[in-house]
A = this chain, B = another copy of it.
């Protein structure tokens, strides 16, 4: 038996509402808030997702899928450093705009279930490898370090009115990660 049409629709509504709610309020947004935004009852959420963590992971997985395109773009870039910097900057923006992503990614056990996220980490590792082989990226750093470094981006701003400071911090990090390369 195929699932009922409204059930499919509601699952999408919940996922979209969760993405928005978690992006706005962080990972500790109440489930009731998600239900309100989805215009759906609590029971409906829990029929589609076993618990809150599963919902968070589903959101992470969905967003990771979008980010996967950036990995290919980075690998195709003629300059290994520019490719890495491009990916790093975009991930930083993603984290800066959505606090919940870091919180979820920290749930190590559960992220194993997020297929797209795993692919994103693996892809990032390839980008890093290429840059390190080219001698333009500091050694001793791997894909697992990226989320930790990007903490500078997702950390909420300390000085009000200046929300774009994280991009300066990313510049600092990239400066510190870069190596001159064999050509000087």
Q: Which residues of A contact B (CB under 8 A)?
A: 106, 108, 138, 140-141, 144-145, 147-149, 151-152, 154-160, 165-166, 168-169, 171-177
Contact = CB atoms under 8 A, between A and B. Distances in A.
Identical copies in the complex? 2
Contact of A152 (B144, B148, B157): B148
Contacts of A148: 152, 155, 157-158, 165-166, 169
A149 to B, nearest CB: 6
B172 A176 contact: yes
Contacts of A144: 158-159
Contacts of A152: 148-149, 151-152
A158 to B, nearest CB: 5
A14 to B, nearest CB: 27
Contacts of A171: 176
